[in-house]
Structures are given as C-alpha cells and as structure tokens.
C-alpha cells in the first residue's frame, strides 16, 4: 500500500496539543507514534495532547528525558519514551524498548529517529518542525493499512484544518 501523509500548521502550543488530542482519541492498544523534531519543537506538548485524547491529565506529562519511560493510565495505557539521551543501539536495547512494541497500550517515542530500523511497520510518524517561536509544522506519515486508516480518520475529524501533503 502507498504511504499516506498529511501536514498541519499549528500557530500555538495549545493548537499543537489539541492536534495531539485528536490523534489520541483515535489510537488504541498496540499503536506506536514516533515523534521526530528539534529540541523545543513541541514533541512533549503534542504528547500532552495525546494523553488528553486517552483520558489522561495532560499536566502529568513531562519530558521523560531522565527517566526514559513514563507510564500513564487512561482509556489505554500510555508509554511515553524519550530517546534523547541514548546515543547507541545498545543503550536503547538496554532499556527494553521492544517490550513496549506493540504493547498493550499506546507508545509515544520522542527522538524516534534514533531507533528507526526497530520501529514496527504500523508506526505513525510525526515530524514537528519549528517555523517560529510559536508556529510548528506537523507532518504525519504512515505506510501500514491500519495506520493509514488512523490518519484518514484524523483528516475527517479535523476537517478543512489539515492540508494534504500527498
């Protein structure tokens, strides 16, 4: 199946979080969301939104840079993983990341580009690019039938707010 991608320009942190909430309401057990972007790109804000979509208090979501994995419980468990401090495949293997893929909940991985070959085919990729102090460009992509369907549902949920990339 041909890969599917969509993009969205967010004018604020709140809108970035809202977009994450829309995705969070659509994902479920076993889903993996790979976040890629520069420091300050909005990955944790987007994850706060995913948490809201799963019925989890967004205020409990902080960057797990020093703990590496944070677990939260809502409609589905949320596993928030941050690979920023890990530089080698053996470092990543040491935290047992494969136990979360595909897990019994939703797994969100910040800095997922540090572990691209091990991500399941069913991963939803979200690249966050900094446009200016508040504006972010979010590009979603998927290549598996299940995750393409999630992106199509996201497009329908958001309506005309999304610009189709291809």
Task: From the options 3.40.50.300, 1.10.10.10, 1.10.10.200, 2.40.10.10, give the CATH code of 4-164.
Answer: 3.40.50.300
Rounded to a whole number, what is the distance in angstroms from the first to the last CA of the chain? 14
What's the predicted TM-score (pTM) here? 0.88
Q: What is the pLDDT of residues 8-38, one digit of tens each?
A: 999 999 999 999 999 999 999 999 999 999 9
Q: What is the pLDDT of residues 91-108, one digit of tens each?
A: 767 777 767 676 788 999
Q: Looking at residues 85-91, what average pLDDT do you find?
A: 71
* Structure-token pair, residue 98: 């494969």
Q: Is 68 helix (H, G, I), strand (E, B) or coil?
A: coil
How many whole angstroms separate alpha carbon 67 and alpha carbon 80? 10
Q: What is the mean pLDDT of the chain?
A: 86
Contact 20, 56 (CB under 8 A): no
Among residues 68, 51, 43, 69, the alpha carbon closest in space to that of 60 is found at 51
Among residues 79, 111, 113, the alpha carbon closest in space to that of 96 is found at 79
Confidence of residue 114 (pLDDT cuts 50, 70, 90): confident
CA neighbours within 13 Å on the CB side: how many for 148? 9
């Amino acid at each position: 199946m041909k890969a599917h991608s969509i993009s969205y320009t967010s004018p604020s942190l709140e809108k970035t979080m809202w977009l994450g909430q829309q995705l969070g309401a659509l994902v479920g057990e076993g889903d993996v969301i790979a976040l890629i972007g520069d420091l300050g790109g909005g990955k944790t804000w987007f994850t706060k939104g995913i948490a809201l979509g799963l019925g989890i208090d967004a205020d409990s979501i902080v960057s797990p840079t020093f703990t590496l994995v944070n677990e939260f419980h809502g409609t589905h468990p949320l596993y928030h993983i941050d690979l920023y401090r890990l530089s080698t495949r053996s470092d990543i293997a040491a935290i047992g990341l494969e136990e979360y893929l595909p897990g019994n909940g939703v797994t969100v991985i910040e800095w997922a580009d540090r572990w691209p070959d091990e991500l399941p085919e069913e991963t939803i990729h979200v690249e966050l690019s900094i446009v200016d102090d508040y504006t972010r460009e979010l590009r979603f992509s998927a290549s598996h039938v299940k995750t393409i369907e999630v992106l199509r549902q996201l497009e329908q949920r958001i309506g005309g707010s999304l610009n189709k990339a291809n």
